[in-house]
Structure formats: structure tokens, C-alpha cells
Structure 1
């Protein structure tokens, strides 16, 4: 059902973890996804050790994932029913609990950088108004341009594989939403969701970010968990402890359960395991409507007294067939990476794979 691992932890200063999305991974692409996660961790760790802030570093990680056409974020995103790309993204920081997000955005090169700008604007509200947390649609694009966030032609994020897949689905489903279709992709294709990252900087500040092209063949204007407060990402500091989570999977189910916050809340309770929380808050939740399989994958970080001892644990959780992730730290500069696979039973919603990995827990 699941496994947990605890390893002695050594002091460290910086940490980064990333994932390429929960979903179906084509077997011939395994090494490409693992290599991508490793390279992003290595690069972001260097920036952290050179003094980058948590927000800047976590956004740099997600930008690297958005710019790679392998992922369903930024370049290579899924197409809507109308044949366009609409992206969601968000970022959150533990020191001030600020959250910035954008949704259903067209033509913004790196949506996570727009989310970062929305977060930054909250630090210095203008005109005496409450600063917005979330921008969507055309308003988000207008705001991006006003803040010099790079915009691109609407075709920029489209790739030939996504266009081919879109045309095939349009012909075969006759404009029926793919979320109602049965069956899983064959082994020649990958079906992935939201990418994400968590970092801890040299000052012990935690930041988390997420970006997504959304479900394939979605309705235009649809918003997923990557742009929803408490659902796709969460981080906070409670005393000397810090918590962060980024979630990928079926957006509507994740929104209905506010899953990222639910996982962080669970880690603050002594008598609740993360595996039991997956079961109660997601797999068996009465908040989720419909009969579709319950798909999610998450990185959940817990740290304690970071500046003194850098104690922490990274939990890797998924109910999808695959979940590719990696982590690196000042004590483990060679990133640990894995494409975790789960053999689903006929009732896919009843299966969980839970791993608890000690953060920075290996000798260097």
C-alpha cells in the first residue's frame, strides 16, 4: 500500500524539490523526465547558495519546467476545446503568507512570473485599494503588460504533438470533454498535469510555486488547482516549524478538498499520518463529486528549526500511475530523482503510494 522511510538528518542551508506532474508517463520518456528534474534542482540549488530569495528561486525552477515542452505547463501545454493554450500558475511564501496567482491566461510566456508579480504587488498596495491575489483571462494579460512581464504570440506555447493530440481528440470525441472519456493513454504518450517546486532559502524562508496548462480539451476559461488558494499550493510557518505542499492531478477534485492546505494541516497533528490523510481527505472524501478516478500527486515538506539544524522531511505522495520528482540540498548537491510508478487496480481510486523521504538525510 505504501512505505515510509526515515533517515538521520544533517545540517544544511538550502533545499529544492521539483516535480513534472502526476499522471501517465510514457516509458520511453523516463530518462528525459528524470534528467529534467535533476538539472532543474542542480541549477536552482546553485542560485539559492548564491543568495537567491526563496520566491525568486522557486519561480526559476518552475520557469525551467514551463520552458520544456515535455511538461504540461507553458510551452507544450494542453489545448482547450477552442484549440488555444490557457495557463494557470501560482506562488506562495511562508514569511508573509502572501499568495499570487493567474488563471486562464493566454500569451504570457511564463505564467509563474506573472503570479510572482501579483504576489509582489501585494507588498506595496497602490491607490488605497486591497491588492488583488488572482488575475484571470484578458485582465491578467493586461496586468502582465503593465508590469513588463513578457508576452508572446498565442501560438508560442503550442507544439506539434499537442496539436496532433488535440485534432485526434476532436475527431474521436466530437467535442466531448475528455474528463468523461474512459480508459488511460497508451504507453506511447504521456498525460501529465501541473508542475511544481518547493524551496528553502539561506534564511529559512520557504516558497512554493505551481504552473499548469490544465486538462486536455478543457473548456476555455476553466480554472484548475494551480490558480486556486489552498488547493494547488500552500506554505506557512508555525513557530519554528515550516510546512509546504504543491499538488498535481485532477483540478476539480483537488479544489473541492483544498488538498495542499489539508496536507500541511495534517502534518501539524501528532496523531495523523499523511497516508491516512490521503485516504480521508481525498480518496474517501464526500466533498468530491462524480465517479471519476481520484488522481493526485504531491510533494509535502516539513522542516523544523531550519537555520539551526535544518531538520526536515519530504513526503512524496501519488495516486496516479506515475509521478516524477527530484530533490537536492546543500548537503546533497547531486540530486536524488525518481519516476515513481504505481500499478493501479481496476478501482484506481482505492490505491495510494506514499513515501516519506528524509530531507537532506544522506551523508555528503
Structure 2
């Protein structure tokens, strides 16, 4: 039993997942509840997740999320969802209650409403901090390339030997309306397969989606690679193929509960507490251990 999440702010999600898994909940139920903790906390919106996220270039909060069940390879995602603060829960409904695997835009909003989720005004999904940032953006025409690319990604392995992957993000602040990155795309932002394990990524999704890194990591593990070796190999390949520097980090979890991570980050600044991390920070829990923050150095 184990779980791993991207960035320091995932620790609250990992704590929740660990409690749920040890209480015999499934990896899927545990993951959804853990991600919801972050999605519903407006103080973590500055990390580009859920309530309190930055809006797009037109002032609308649009959220993406996806979930994948490694037991049967079932997958569900929503993209550019407006008016709902817990997109990972809507993505689960797509996976379990729709004949489709991905629903976007107004269709995703209608689907959420039909599933019983209650829509909120756009303004209620923003905080004073993100509203002020948007007003500043309109005046200065700040480039989205000047802001960080954070994504909440969580991987969970339960006592039954089932692994699940989930991601949730608002994407880059002030993005082009309708923009979808790698996060809600299977094999790109996340992948899970009980025959090997699970992986997820965070960073500049417009670049990473070209390489299908999550599927690549899981495939390497299925072929016998160690979890850390698989992460390093995929990140190295992206680095070499792309050439120019870009932000990328990956996490992975195999069926033994072993974890791995690799990144192209030399440092990460936590925008909430202004703490500087020399590398890529991520949260980890494994059976018999206390959830902790670990740091993966630049590859």
C-alpha cells in the first residue's frame, strides 16, 4: 500500500489517501477523496488546482481532471469544465456512468449538472488574490509563459493490489480559452495498469503531451524496468528530444509499492510560503511510514 503526489501541496491529499487506504477503502475512493481535499481548499488554488484557481484570458475558471483505474484500464476525464470546483469527481462519473471517456466544454458542464453536481458562479471559484492577479494581467498583458505550471497528480495502491491515477488542474493562469494540456489525456498526464503500476506528470503540458510520458513509464515497468529507472529514462528522452529547457517532472508507483520521481527542475518556489526547494518536491506515503515531502534533484 502506498501513494505519491506532486509538489508540497499534495501532502494533505496524501495524508487523506493514506488514512482511507488503511481503513480498507479502495485506491479509487481514496484518491478521489484526497484530491477533493485540495480542490476544495481555496488556499491551494494558487497552485492551479480547483477552487481559487487562476482564470483564463477572458476571466473564466476552466478546470481539467482525469482518473484512471488500473484494474480494468477504465478512464474518465473532463476538460474546460466551468462552474464546478471538484472536476476529479465529475471525471469519475464520466468513467463510471458515461459511455464516453472524455467530455469537454459545455457538454462537461451539462454532464456534471445531470449527475447532480451543483454549479457555482464563476466569481465564487476565485479568491481575492486570483481576481487581483487577473485584473493586473489585463492591465499589463503579462505572458502566460512567465508563470509556473503546477498540476496536482496522485497515484494510489490499495491492499487489494489495485492502482489508480488521478490529476486535477486549472492549467496555466490566463491561458487561451479552451486550452487543454496533457493532464486529462490518457498516457500523457496519467496512466495506470495493474500489470505494472501507475505514473503521472506535471510541468509544461503543451510540450510533455508530445511524448506520452506516463504511458511510456508504465510500459517500461511492465517490461521489467525499476520504477526509478523508468522515470529517469523517460525524462532523459524528453530532455534530449526537445532540446530547449522546459519544466517537467514525473512520479511513478509500481505494484510493490515502490515509488520513483524524476525532473528537469533545478528549483521550485512554493508561492504560498515563499520557500525554495532545490529540485522537485513531492509527497509520499508507504505502509508503515509517515507521509513526508521528498526532493528529487535535477536530472
Match of 2:16 in 1: 43
Deviation at 1:249, TM superposition (A): 0.8
Deviation at 1:95, TM superposition (A): 0.6
TM-score, normalised to structure 2, is 0.87
Deviation at 1:42, TM superposition (A): 2.4
Structure 2 distance, partners of 1:293, 1:248, is: 15
Whether the 8 Å contact between 1:37 and 1:326 is mirrored in structure 2 is yes
**Secondary structure of residue in 2 paired with 1:143:** helix
Deviation at 1:194, TM superposition (A): 1.0
Structure 2 distance, partners of 1:134, 1:253, is: 21
Unpaired stretches in structure 1, ≥5 consecutive residues? 1-13, 21-32, 123-130, 186-190, 304-310, 343-351, 354-364
Deviation at 1:283, TM superposition (A): 1.0
TM-score, normalised to structure 1, is 0.72
Whether the 8 Å contact between 2:68 and 2:166 is mirrored in structure 1 is yes
Would you say 1:18 and 2:1 are equivalent positions?
Answer: no
Task: Write out aligned runs for 1:292-311 (5 A).
Answer: 293-303=245-255, 311=256
**Secondary structure of residue in 1 paired with 2:106:** helix
Deviation at 1:266, TM superposition (A): 2.5
Deviation at 1:99, TM superposition (A): 0.6
Deviation at 1:243, TM superposition (A): 1.3
Would you say 1:314 and 2:254 are equivalent positions?
Answer: no
TM superposition outliers: structure 1 runs of 4+ over 4 Å: none
Q: Which of 1 and 2 has greater Rg?
A: 1
Higher relative contact order (CA 8 A, sep 6+): 1
Structure 1 distance, partners of 2:125, 2:149, is: 16
Match of 1:107 in 2: 83
Which whole-Å deviations, capped at 9, do the CAs of 1:309-350 have from their partners, x for residues lacking one?
Answer: xx3421111213323321123311x21213x375xxxxxxxx
Task: Write out aligned runs for 1:112-127 (5 A).
Answer: 112-122=88-98
Unpaired stretches in structure 2, ≥5 consecutive residues? 269-279
Q: Normalized per residue, which structure has more helix?
A: 2
**Secondary structure of residue in 2 paired with 1:156:** helix
Task: Write out aligned runs for 1:215-230 (5 A).
Answer: 215-230=172-187
Q: Structure 2 vs 1, CA of residues 153 and 256 (structure 1 numbering), >3 Å: closer, same or farther? A: same
Range 45-54 or range 91-100, more displaced: 45-54
Whether the 8 Å contact between 1:16 and 1:198 is mirrored in structure 2 is yes
